Amino acid sequence: MITITSIEKNYSSFTDEHKSEGYCFGFCLTWLGDILKDRSSQYSGRWFSGWFTPVKSPEKKALLPTDYASQRLLFDRARRKQENSERRADEDNAQGFSQLDHEEVTVNYKNRRQREKEMITAVPGLKYSLHERSSFMTMTTLNTRENKNPLSGMIIKFQFTDEGEEACHAVAAFRYNEFESFFLDPNYGLYKTVSAYPMLEIVEFLSSKYHDPLALSEIRVTKKLTTE
């Protein structure tokens, strides 16, 4: 696994500033959304800024900024994304709906919002699906034999032991061609896998950074080809 961009120091400084244990889930959602969504033109004042800007390829959009100011903007988007996700889960549960964790609430909310946008724009959006996993190697998003869609990403939620206490974390991965994938750990940075078996590399990485990592769930995020 090759290091592309290290953010460990800057991200740790940001979370300390906000007195937070981290915004890993929001970071993963933000990163995958930026890769998979089409944002060729955005209205700004009287001009559409994207008219004269070529659309970046997915592998280019996956790259993290290297300067601190741009990284802070990304961290802040991740913070807001995670706080909104947790707020929606708290509100749904407080209103007497079935007790869902914030990952389930987020997947349901995202799919509903994507359908609403598709009805307005007629542009295919993203599809989110949540799967419980008891092993990292049963996660199939990066497996080209199991998942034929070339524009797919995944969020991995796992449990580990931190100073004798159980803790949870989320990381993400994106396969941008048959043989290459990007891997994001918000605590450390962006990496590129270098073998035909990216999950093996990811498991090796997690085992080197976290004590006794245990897979919990996989959220697959896929760029839809049609609005149906």
Q: What is the pLDDT of residues 127-141, one digit of tens each?
A: 999 999 989 999 988
CA distance 97 to 169: 26
The mean pLDDT of 78-101, rounded to a whole number, is 75
Q: Which two tokens stand for residue 68?
A: 């601190």
Whether residue 48 has pLDDT greater than 70: no
Q: Which residue has the higher pLDDT, 124 or 43?
A: 124
Whether 202 and 115 have beta carbons less than 8 Å apart is answered as no
Question: How would residue 14 be classed by pLDDT, with cut points 50, 70 and 90?
Answer: very high
DSSP letters spanning 101-117: -HHHHHHHHHHHHHHHH
Give this prediction's pTM: 0.85
b/e per residue, 117-150, with b = 16+ CB within 10 A? bbeeeeebbbbbebeebeebeebbbbeeeeeeee
What structural domains does the chain harbor?
A: 2-223 (3.90.70)
Whether 190 and 183 have beta carbons less than 8 Å apart is answered as yes
Whether residue 87 has pLDDT greater than 90: no
pLDDT score for 85: 83
DSSP letters spanning 27-43: HHHHHHHHHHS--S--E
CA distance 219 to 221: 6
CA distance 117 to 115: 5
Whether residue 47 has pLDDT greater than 80: no
